[in-house]
Structure 1
């Protein structure tokens, strides 16, 4: 049975996928790779391929989705199914790119503040800001810190568009996004679901950019169904 490989996003670690790791542990090998030390999306993809065996059921969120798309382009025979959460195949809009460059510059100038409580409503649904979900998001940012933020943002800014390759994806693909995601526009998920032949789009209610943390039961259900798709 294929291992389930779960890829975190920017300033996320294994805590992003903690509920899924526990949920699937009895029936599958679950792997959450460390994507904090690589210098590029391609290098992250190579690391995941090196650290896993055989065909994998691959899921990625946000930056992890960029890595997942790079993996299936590099080694399509290694992926038996794909799940793309709150991510995009296209490059950032000019406005989003400018935001990334600005935040990167501030971090390089020593003004990195991690994930502040003020920033949380943009990342997660307002319902979860003052809960354990919000605390976990802040804690991940503190743990990973400035150097990881700079490294990952630089990798994201230098990534290539995967949009031209979407039609080549030949495995069952789940595309999912929170209904209140303010980071990744819904249209990006719609595009991927339209272009990938064997895909289905799901919008997760009362969730922002991090559904695996915000709506763990809904995410677990989607992934369980995805693992049974033929």
Structure 2
């Protein structure tokens, strides 16, 4: 297999599905196989990683956003030899602090009581830059959440709450690594990506202006261009 033609695995985030990666898939699937696992079916990050590994080719480039980033880090712990390149978008590696964990448990309890509302108009400004509200981008975000639904949300939140601390994995990563974050991301702010960048030797960090938590939707062309450059990088580094 040519290094620069590696199959590509794209892992969505919380309440997201393959629509998150629509532009990237449409552009890149002509040059390589694309695999987008369903990460709404399992209740632990480890199980999500195992499902992804089962569905993926033997060797692949791996790009992941938010919760998908936790799955990617678990893959780097379980099967690092299968990953040829790594891209982490708007994610973090440290466990939740108590305030964030408490907020997640509150959302989980509400969902289990039947009060799951998906991504509401009130929540959208935390997920995307203000320029994206009231646009088809916002419609896609809300539609993905409705598709994942209450049961998928409960499984995903449980998995996130119980995830491991992936900071020790950072220094073990030796493949070309791209880190991308929206400058206006309120969910996983740029400081989280800066920590990942410091921890992974020879990684490259890109901060996107006028962008919230979902670069593949908010800046689809730019995100695709960044992934193409990353895929074209040599195995010796960025």
Give the TM interval when normalised to the shorter protein.
over 0.9
Instruction: List aligned pairs for 1:45-56, cutoff 5 A.
Output: 45-56=49-60
1:175 aligns with 2:175: no
Give the C-alpha shift of residue 93 in structure 1: 2.2
Aligned to 1:161: 165
Question: Of residues 34, 40, 44 in structure 1, which corresponds to 2:38?
Answer: 34
Q: CA RMSD in A?
A: 0.8
After TM superposition, what 4+ stretches of structure 1 lie above 3 angstroms from structure 2? Answer: none
Please report how far the alpha carbon of residue 222 of structure 1 lies from its aligned counterpart in structure 2 after TM superposition: 0.6
Superposed CA deviations along residues 156-193 of structure 1, whole A, max 9, x for unmatched, are: 00110100110000101001101110100211100110
User: Of the candidates 63, 66, 69, which is equivalent to residue 67 of structure 2?
Assistant: 63
What is aligned with 1:128? 132
TM-score, normalization by structure 1: 0.98
CA shift for structure 1 position 85: 0.3
Q: Which residue of 2 aligns with 1:78?
A: 82
Calculate the TM-score normalised by the size of structure 2.
0.95
Residue 14 (structure 2) aligned to one of 10, 25, 37:
10
Instruction: Give me the whole-angstrom Cα distance separating, in 2, the residues matched to 1:224 and 1:205.
Output: 19
Q: Is residue 229 from structure 1 mapped to residue 233 from structure 2 by the alignment?
A: yes
Q: Residue in 1 aligned with 2:217?
A: 213
1:108 is aligned to: 112
SS at match of 2:171: helix
Between 25-34 and 151-160, the greater mean CA deviation after superposition: 25-34
Match of 2:94 among 86, 90, 96: 90
Post-superposition Cα deviations, 1:41-69, rounded to whole Å, max 9, x if no partner, equal 00010111111122110011000000001
Q: Secondary structure at the match of 1:177?
A: strand
Moved more, 102-111 or 8-17: 102-111
Paired position in structure 1 for 2:27: 23
Residue 195 of structure 2 is aligned with which of 188, 191, 196? Answer: 191
**What is the distance in 2 between the residues matched to 1:32 and 1:198?**
27
Q: Does 1:151 align with 2:155?
A: yes
